[in-house]
Amino acid sequence: MRFALKIGIIFLQLEVWGMRVKKIWTKELFICFCLAVILFVPVHTFAEEKREWRDEVIYSIMIDRFNNGESKNDKQLDVGNLEGYQGGDIRGIIKRLDYIKEMGFTTIMLSPLFESEKYDGLSVRNFQKVNEHFGTENDVKELVNEAHKKGMKVVFQFPYEENEQQLIDSMKWWIKEVDLDGSYVIHSEKKPRAFWDEVQKDLRKVKKGFHIMTKEDNEYYKKIVESFSKADMSVKPLYDVSGKEEEFATFLDNQETKRFARIAKENMYYPPSRLKLAITYLLTSPGIPNFYYGTEIALDGGDAPDNRRLMDFKSDEKFMQHITKLGELRQARPSLRRGTFELLYDKDGMSILKRKYKDEVTLVAINNTKETKKVSLPVSTIGEKQELRGLLEDEIIREENGKFYLVLKREESNVYKVSEETGVNWFFISLIVGVNVLFIAFLIAVKKKRSSV
């Protein structure tokens, strides 16, 4: 961004020059500019990383509770009774794809959409038919197609079936019918992981890169709730269970647990403040973050079915901005998705974590306390001639007497880019000088040419 701005300044200068020497010299000026760029601008090559499942951020949807997009399938609704149908459907999700994508989510996961006895889809009658309350197969095809156009993947939840071959055949059928990207098997623990690895190999013969998600990281879930549903808690127990599997789904809550917001409320804390800290950790630690719909509005809910309330799209703007910014950072910085994970500091609720992937280093600071905290890190931890640039909250931290001082207000977090210390930008100055020298040389040459005619 800065480099583009600098190039823009040079173009502006060239435009001024062009006005001076009139249109006849436009071609010559352009040649001079190109020569200057070739001589003074270093060439950078950026190899685009191949997208993997550990790079995804999932938005998990209970179809019946998300959004009603088609009134024609509103059959036998029992609005207000959370054990009955509430009207959410596939078309409602299609209409909200941009909403999901803008928050930084790259994959949507749908609750079982098959013909079933109840809204939750757990008692499946036919894996190859769509629940009439949710829409049609064409609606599903349109949803997957529209998601793919937006660069998003689609995962279906499949309840475990004792007839395993029927389950596998159903996955293959949906891959062929709608170009499904992945599946999440509910109660997959009934079979060992090795079994599902073999199934995944088989399904990848039908679609390259197809991914089977099995049991979520419940140990991670328990520790992240303990660490952030109340203040002044150490992050060390959570850190100790983080990063075991980069392709394990990590989560704050789901359709089988109490809402994180409810637990924070029971602990006598303001849910959005607790959620902001927990989400910062979730989106910057190893694993595939799996957001349960409504987390972005701190949706309340106790045990099922109370945790499956209707979605409300009225949200707190600052809270949404926090989630969106974190989502953007996770996609922009590979070190937040891959590589090493290290706990640098943890004391009385204040923690600093380090992510590193190749040459990219990112720090994550979380103040889970009721007061402003100041932490010093030795230069040996960060590196000499380095600086920390805040990405959630804009700030620059430079070395002071061999230390870096990070200051965070109560219940706040920040993500820092570690980069070479900036000072006087001699490169840009030399670039401007170089262009000017070439321009002056060009004018002298033109003048000599005219005088010789």
Residue 437 has pLDDT above 80, yes or no: no
Residue 278 has pLDDT above 60, yes or no: yes
Residue 60 has pLDDT above 70, yes or no: yes
User: Model confidence at 421, in pLDDT bands (50, 70, 90)?
Assistant: confident
Q: How far is CA 315 from CA 43, 295, 296, 310, 312, in A?
A: 44, 10, 8, 14, 8
Between the ranges 9-13, 22-26, 311-315, where is the mean pLDDT highest?
Answer: 311-315
At 21 the pLDDT is 44
Percentage, residues of the chain above pLDDT 70:
82
Residue 223 has pLDDT above 80, yes or no: yes
Residue 260 has pLDDT above 80, yes or no: yes
At 389 the pLDDT is 98
Give CA 193 to chain center in angstroms.
26
At 453 the pLDDT is 55
Q: In what order do the strands lie in the sheet with 211-213?
A: 211-213, 182-186, 153-159, 107-110, 58-61, 288-292, 249-250
Residue 6 has pLDDT above 80, yes or no: no
Structure-token match 């990070």, residue found: 406
Q: Mean pLDDT score of the chain, rounded to an integer? A: 88
CATH superfamily, region 53-336: Glycosidases (3.20.20.80)
Residue 452 has pLDDT above 70, yes or no: no
User: Model confidence at 2, in pLDDT bands (50, 70, 90)?
Assistant: very low
Residue 10 has pLDDT above 70, yes or no: no
| pLDDT tens per residue across span 363-403 | 999 999 999 999 999 999 999 999 999 999 999 999 999 99
Residue 448 has pLDDT above 80, yes or no: no
User: Model confidence at 215, in pLDDT bands (50, 70, 90)?
Assistant: confident
Residue 4 has pLDDT above 90, yes or no: no
Q: For 174, which DSSP code?
A: H
Per-residue exposure over 23-49, b if at least 16 CB sit within 10 Å of its own CB, e if not? eebeebbeebbeebeeebeeeeeeeee
Residue 431 has pLDDT above 90, yes or no: no
Residue 46 has pLDDT above 50, yes or no: no
Query: What is the pLDDT averaged over residues 197-201?
Result: 97
At 443 the pLDDT is 65
At 298 the pLDDT is 96
At 440 the pLDDT is 73
Residue 405 has pLDDT above 50, yes or no: yes
Higher pLDDT, 345 or 16: 345
At 315 the pLDDT is 84
CATH superfamily, region 340-420: Golgi alpha-mannosidase II (2.60.40.1180)
At 422 the pLDDT is 77
> d(Cα 256, Cα 238) in Å, to the nearest integer?
21
What is the full DSSP assignment across 263-312? HHHHTTS-HHHHHHHHHHHHHHSSSEEEEETTGGGT----STTGGGPPP-
At 175 the pLDDT is 99
Residue 26 has pLDDT above 70, yes or no: no
